[in-house]
Amino acid sequence: MVYPEVAMRQFRFSPALPETPPFTIGDGLILLGTASALYAGLRLSFNVPAIIRGPEISLSPLALPWYALLSVGRMAAAYFLSLLFSLFYGYAAARNRTARTVLMPVLDVLQSVPILSFLPVVLLSLSAVLPQAFAAEFAAIVLIFTSQAWNMTFSFYQSMTTIPTEMREAAAVFRFDPWLRFKTVELPFAAMGLLWNSMMSWSGGWFFLMAAEIFNVGSRDFRLPGLGSYLQTAANEGKLRAVILGVATLVFVIVLLDQFVWRPLIAWSDKFKVDMVEGDEPPRSWSRVESLPPLNRLARRRLLGWR
């Protein structure tokens, strides 16, 4: 049996949720901007030549180091663009409440768009206004960028909005200007999350790199010299030895980057961990790249007793 007083208390502590409009002005602006960009890309794509000849892909083992360097270079260019985008976009969204109401929904829409759908529109529109080789390179970097940037941006935004109150108050007491606060408080606090999400984004970028390097539209060959086009050519010609060499090179490059880039960076970023109690054994790297002077100097900066 439910007494009237209990029922009233239950009703009193269960207020109705406010109604939200199903469609806002911000949603309309985002939809209009997306449609305008797609329309502009489609209009430009009509000016692309009907026939485009791609490069000759050599299956010689001696070409593999050069192709691996080209593929890693495209990945690195897309990653640095993604990192810059994440820092600027995440900072603007976290520090400005008005900008956040527009920037975060836009980012949510962009990450929901299938990544491979960016490539035809971007590639065909760029080919209409730029030389074909440069357009294909730029489109490949844009495709990899779209596979990396959203994840990193959300990570940096979350770190910016979860900085401990004590650290914010200390920065205010010492009257840090925006650049000093970003350099000594916000970026170090976000370093570990940004690095782990960078590894995830880089891993996902390998798939879209391969897709960008072997892209064709009818009689238009937009292939790029790299590991992806090497593996595709070897598979099409039935060269099993070339396929094995290409896969082995890809695995070797991934392991090399893990041991000499990501593991040292993980060991270095552990110095920025904010813990109230002693944690587990910090990660180590046998290559000791994290002990280089530039990284050591940055890691020695202290704020409120943490490194």
CA torsion sign for 129, 131, 135, 138 is negative
CB hemisphere CA count around 174 (13 angstroms): 14
d(CA 12, CA 134): 65
CA distance 96 to 92: 6
How confident is the model at residue 17, as a pLDDT?
42
Q: Which two tokens stand for residue 231?
A: 């593996």
* pLDDT digits 0-9 by tens, 23-79: 566 556 656 665 665 555 555 555 555 445 667 888 999 999 999 999 999 999 999
The separation between CA 265 and the C-alpha centre of its own chain, rounded to angstroms, equals: 17
Q: Which helix (H) or strand (E) holds 217?
A: strand 216-217
pLDDT tens digits for 177-216?
989 999 999 999 999 999 999 999 999 899 889 888 887 7
pTM, entire model: 0.76
Position 9 pLDDT exceeds 60: no
Determine the Cα–Cα distance for residues 244 and 23; give it in Å rounded to an integer. Answer: 53
For the ranges 66-75, 123-132, 294-303, the maximum mean pLDDT occurs at 66-75
Full set of structural domains in the chain with CATH: 61-257 (1.10.3720.10)
**pLDDT (tens digit, 9 = 90+) per residue, 269-293?**
888 877 644 555 666 656 555 555 5
Which amino acid belongs to residue 38?
L
Q: Give me the amino acid identity at 87.
A: L
**222 confidence band (pLDDT: 50, 70, 90):** confident
Decide: helix, strand or coil at residue 284: coil
